[in-house]
Amino acid sequence: MENVRLIVGLGNPGAKYARTRHNVGFQLVERLAERWRATWTTEKKFKSAVARVERNGTTILLCQPQTFMNASGDAVGPLVSYYRVPVAQVLVAVDDADLPMGEIRLRERGSSGGHHGLESIETHLGTRDFVRLRIGIGRTDDGRREITDYVLAPFSATETVLVDRVLKAAAAQVECWLDAGIGKAMSQFNGVVKDSV
């Protein structure tokens, strides 16, 4: 289908993970669903929560895989196949510990950067040529590589204020990608999120 876009937010299902750093992708697609007044439904055959909206002549599918992060491709692969979504029209929003908190970075394609959710999607789609929106969550101050406890912890009260601003900017960037293309969306939004967004 030519006029279908799939926007996937990565995260882990369940209340205990809902506001953790690792679930910022889930939070972004929730924000988009609110903006577009889209309703979530559970799609068991796609192992996902899916919200569907028509916007400017385009069908947009929002997806929260319910497979847990490391098996995200088990949900995304079947969705892409069933709806025949061109890979270039798939956007995956993901947390990035190597990007400082307060920064966002949209790319046309790229590596997984060691993110297991992205690795799973790459495996199922057989390509890296899908759009990815990395949302910075930073790292622990001590610079450890093992950060499981950090990414699975909730944002602090101070961070939550910043994350709200970041999600607002990221949602605007997704809309820019939909309306004006990848180039404009990258040049206009990539980098540190401004206070005025």
Structural domain boundaries of the chain?
Answer: 4-192
Own/partner pairs, 192-195, CB within 8 angstroms, 24+ separation = 192/100, 192/102, 192/103, 193/102, 193/103, 193/104, 193/162, 193/165, 193/166, 193/169, 194/169, 195/165
DSSP bridge pairs for 43: 48
The average confidence (pLDDT) of the chain is: 91
CB 150 within 8 A of CB 140: yes
The per-residue pLDDT for range 91-100, each reduced to its tens digit, is 999 999 889 9
In the sheet with 4-9, reading across from the earlier edge strand, the strands are: 40-43, 48-55, 58-65, 4-9, 90-96, 131-136, 103-107, 191-192
26: confidence class by pLDDT, cuts 50, 70, 90: very high
**Predicted TM-score of the model (pTM):** 0.93
Q: What is the pLDDT of residue 196?
A: 58
DSSP bridge pairs for 146: none
* 165/171 Cα distance (integer angstroms): 10
Largest CA distance in the chain: 48
Least confident of 64-73, 121-130, 136-145, 183-192: 136-145
* 111/125 Cα distance (integer angstroms): 13
Say which of 22, 115, 116, 124 is annotated catalytic.
22
- Active-site residue 116, yes or no? no
The per-residue pLDDT for range 117-159, each reduced to its tens digit, is 999 999 999 999 999 999 999 876 655 555 677 788 888 888 8
CATH fold of the domain at 4-192: Rossmann fold (3.40.50)
Region of residue 84 (left: phi > 0; alpha: psi -120 to 50; beta: else): left
Q: What is the mean pLDDT of residues 86-95?
A: 96
- The CA–CA distances, whole Å, from 13 to 17, 32, 174 equal 7, 18, 23
Q: What is the pLDDT of residue 150?
A: 78
* 92/6 Cα distance (integer angstroms): 8
Report which of 28, 30, 38, 11 is spatially closest to residue 106, judged by C-alpha positions: 28
Least confident of 112-116, 155-159, 169-173, 175-179: 112-116
Q: What is the mean pLDDT of residues 55-68?
A: 95
* 104/39 Cα distance (integer angstroms): 26
Percent of the chain with pLDDT over 70: 93
